[in-house]
Amino acid sequence: MGEALRNGTATPDDVEGALARSKAVDIDPATLRNVLRVSSDDGPHAEAIEAIVRRIPNGWARWLSVDAGWYSLVIATHARLAQRDLGYVVHQIKEKYETLRYYYYWPGSDDLAPDLSTRWMPSSGAERVSAITCERCGQSGHYTEPSITG
């Protein structure tokens, strides 16, 4: 089917049949979302990354959406937050606008609602450092404006 789609020979019946087969696969989205995903490429950071990902509650995607170059930033942010409250909850860790976003929640905090979908706080310190740290290799650098040539 993939080849037929690539070379333009797939008929409407081919596409409809493939779609019907994919709909027949029994995958529960909630189960898929709650599966713990830790990469085998995490190397020396694997244990720490897994501990952090386990703080993400059911119902939220339980994985990191950053490359290994930022793992040390993620681990340092976790250590700083855990010093304040060992029970803090991770909401999401991802790259957004070319910086690290580490969203977390303080359980029992008066200023935040317990419903994670309504309130969260990004870790601004990690965000600032990530702006000058390569997400792939972890080397420091500096931000440069992209050049546009005509």
**Contact 125/77 with Cβ under 8 angstroms?**
yes
How is the chain split into domains, by residue range?
Answer: 35-130
For the chain, 150 residues long, the average pLDDT of each consecutive 10-residue run is 81 86 77 75 86 89 89 93 88 89 78 44 76 92 64
pTM: 0.69
DSSP secondary structure string, 94-145? EEETTEEEEEEE-TT-TTS-S-TTT--EE-HHHHHHHTTB-TTT--B----P
Query: Residue 48's pLDDT is what?
Result: 93
